[in-house]
């Protein structure tokens, strides 16, 4: 059996970055390379129905080996990495027997994992930590999840003495851009309940997440020679910054935590003539979420009143909703995951996701789907890392979930 470290390193070698500007499904063809490799790997492990469909979804079944009816459980992870930073040519560093101090990521460019900035690091003293080299993200979000599911599949196929019901395996593209289950066929997948393995640090268990929307604001300026611009020029860049300043400062990601929502400007492109602002809008509370969207609309309307009709155009779309209302009626699946962690010697940390997962949307599509940790930290950037022992625990938790549902 392939060990978890080697498997993880093999998967992160694939560049699978998704692209929010693409209209194709999946958004990038390079994701299909890993997805097809996973489908073939599943077939080699003995999952005869493993296949990738036209949209890039990989689905497979481990048949039941018990003679009683138990729920069919699914395990899902996404293969794409975030557009926030390059996921190509990843050069991981493997730090064995971590000494508990600062970790230099790159001696030339200088970034480091400093205890002052990342105070959770010392809890992994003595473990094996996998980091970036300070020039790319790592890809633990969510190739750690892919690794843990595949390692568990390999174990179950090699150990038929482990009794279990029918198990469904799913891998998706484009989760990072909010389109991970746009074409996912829940009926075809065939699970009664599922778990995404897409959480953070060891112990995290999540069944509530943000309500989410994306907003793009196009700003039409008027470029006039600056020597003759008085009472004529409309500088689209300045209008963009003025609009952004109308949003509450204390509702930015860097000032919020727990159940607090935010407006997050993720991109500004512009010239004097025209500019574009892109935002994500998040809140756990549906009422507050709707209020945030209304505020965004009012800001755009105000700018059009101030600078003229058509100066600003808003394109805003809901992306996903808080899964809690769909999962709580099936609370036993949370209790099962909670117990599975305790069996693995992991202290469960039940907390709201300050983000979203494929499971959030799947829950509204009829497949209750809470989220389990994969072990990583600082996703989407060069400070991303994952302890090997956390990935091993995630695999153990998955196998415990399988065992508990078979009883």
pLDDT at 354: 86
Task: pLDDT band for 263, please (50, 70, 90 cuts).
Answer: very high
Cα distance between residue 208 and residue 322, in whole Å: 6
pLDDT at 234: 97
Cα distance between residue 166 and residue 191, in whole Å: 9
Residue 77: closest CA among 142, 21, 24: 142
Residues contacting 203, CB < 8 A, separation 6+: 341, 346, 347, 348, 349, 373
What is the b/e burial string over 276-299, where b = at least 16 CB atoms within 10 angstroms of the residue's CB? ebbbbbbbbeeeebeebbebbeeb
Cα distance between residue 374 and residue 79, in whole Å: 13
Residues 352-377, mean pLDDT to the nearest whole number:
92
Query: Which contiguous run of DSSP H or E holds residue 76?
Result: strand 73-78
Residue 378 is classified by DSSP as: S
pLDDT at 59: 98
Residues contacting 177, CB < 8 A, separation 6+: 18, 19, 20, 27, 80, 83
Residues present in the chain in total: 407
Q: Does domain 4-209+322-406 have CATH number 3.40.630.10?
A: yes
Cα distance between residue 181 and residue 140, in whole Å: 20
Q: Indicate the SS3 state at residue 381.
A: coil
Residues 278-298, mean pLDDT to the nearest whole number:
97
Q: Indicate the SS3 state at residue 400.
A: helix
- Phi and psi for 338 in degrees, rounded to 5? -60, -50
Structure confidence by residue, pLDDT tens digits, 303-323: 999 999 999 999 999 988 999
Structure confidence by residue, pLDDT tens digits, 193-237: 999 999 999 999 999 999 999 999 999 999 999 999 999 999 999
Q: With both helix axes pointing from N to C terminus, report the angle between 332-343 and 388-406 in degrees, rounded to the nearest 10.
A: 130
The β-bridge partners of 222 are 234
Cα distance between residue 207 and residue 196, in whole Å: 10
Residue 362: closest CA among 151, 127, 76, 52: 76
Q: Does domain 211-320 have CATH number 3.90.110.10?
A: no
Cα distance between residue 318 and residue 251, in whole Å: 19
pLDDT at 331: 96
Per annotation, catalytic residue among 154, 175, 176, 392: 175
Cα distance between residue 400 and residue 343, in whole Å: 7
Q: Which residue has the tokens 């993200």?
A: 137
Residues 322-348, mean pLDDT to the nearest whole number:
96
Domain with CATH 3.30.70.360 in the chain: 211-320
Residue 175 annotated as catalytic: yes
Kindly state the tokens that stand for 262: 């935010």
Quick one: CA dihedral 251, 257, 261, 266, positive or negative?
A: positive
Please determine, for residue 107, whether its predicted confidence score (pLDDT) is greater than 90.
no
Cα distance between residue 232 and residue 224, in whole Å: 7
**Cis before residue 142, ω within 30 degrees of 0?**
yes
Residues 18-23, mean pLDDT to the nearest whole number:
94
Please determine, for residue 1, whether its predicted confidence score (pLDDT) is greater than 80.
no
pTM of the predicted protein model: 0.86
**194 near 168, Cβ under 8 Å?**
yes
Q: Residue 53, exposed/middle/buried by CB under 10 A (0-12, 13-18, 19+)?
A: middle
Residue 80 annotated as catalytic: yes
């Amino acid at each position: 059996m392939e060990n978890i470290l080697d498997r993880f390193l093999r998967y992160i070698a694939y560049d699978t970055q998704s692209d929010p500007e693409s209209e194709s499904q999946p958004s990038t063809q390079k994701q299909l390379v890993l997805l097809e490799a996973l489908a073939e790997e599943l077939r080699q492990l003995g999952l005869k129905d493993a296949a990738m469909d036209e949209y890039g979804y990989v689905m497979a079944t481990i048949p039941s080996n018990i003679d009683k009816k138990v729920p069919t459980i699914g395990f899902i992870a996404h293969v794409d990495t975030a557009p926030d930073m390059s996921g190509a040519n990843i050069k991981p560093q493997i730090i064995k027997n971590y000494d508990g101090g600062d970790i230099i990521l790159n001696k030339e460019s200088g970034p480091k994992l400093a205890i002052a900035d990342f105070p959770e690091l010392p809890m992994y003293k003595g473990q094996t930590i996998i980091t970036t080299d300070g020039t790319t993200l790592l890809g633990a979000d969510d190739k750690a999840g892919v690794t843990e599911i595949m390692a568990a599949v390999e174990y179950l196929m090699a150990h038929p003495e482990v009794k279990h019901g029918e198990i469904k395996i799913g891998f998706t593209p484009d989760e990072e851009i909010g389109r991970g289950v746009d074409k996912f066929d829940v009926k075809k997948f065939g699970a009664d309940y599922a778990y995404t393995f897409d959480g953070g640090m060891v112990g995290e268990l999540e069944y509530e997440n943000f309500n989410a929307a994306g907003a793009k604001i196009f700003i039409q300026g008027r470029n006039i020679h600056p020597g003759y611009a008085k009472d004529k020029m409309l500088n689209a860049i300045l209008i963009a910054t003025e609009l952004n300043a109308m949003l509450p400062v204390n509702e930015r990601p860097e000032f919020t935590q727990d159940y607090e929502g935010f407006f997050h400007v993720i991109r500004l492109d512009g010239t004097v003539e025209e500019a574009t602002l892109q935002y994500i809008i998040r809140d756990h509370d549906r009422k507050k979420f709707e209020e945030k969207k209304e505020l965004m609309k009012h800001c755009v309307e105000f700018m059009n009143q101030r600078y003229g009709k058509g100066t600003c155009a808003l394109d805003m779309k809901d992306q996903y909703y808080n899964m809690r209302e769909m999962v709580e009626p099936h609370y036993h699946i949370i209790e099962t995951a909670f117990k599975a962690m305790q069996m693995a010697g992991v202290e469960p940390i039940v907390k709201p996701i300050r983000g979203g997962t494929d499971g959030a949307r799947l829950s509204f599509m009829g497949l209750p789907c809470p989220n389990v940790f994969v072990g990583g930290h600082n996703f989407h950037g060069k400070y991303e890392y994952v302890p090997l022992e956390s990935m091993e625990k995630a695999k153990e938790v998955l196998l415990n979930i399988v065992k508990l549902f078979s009883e």
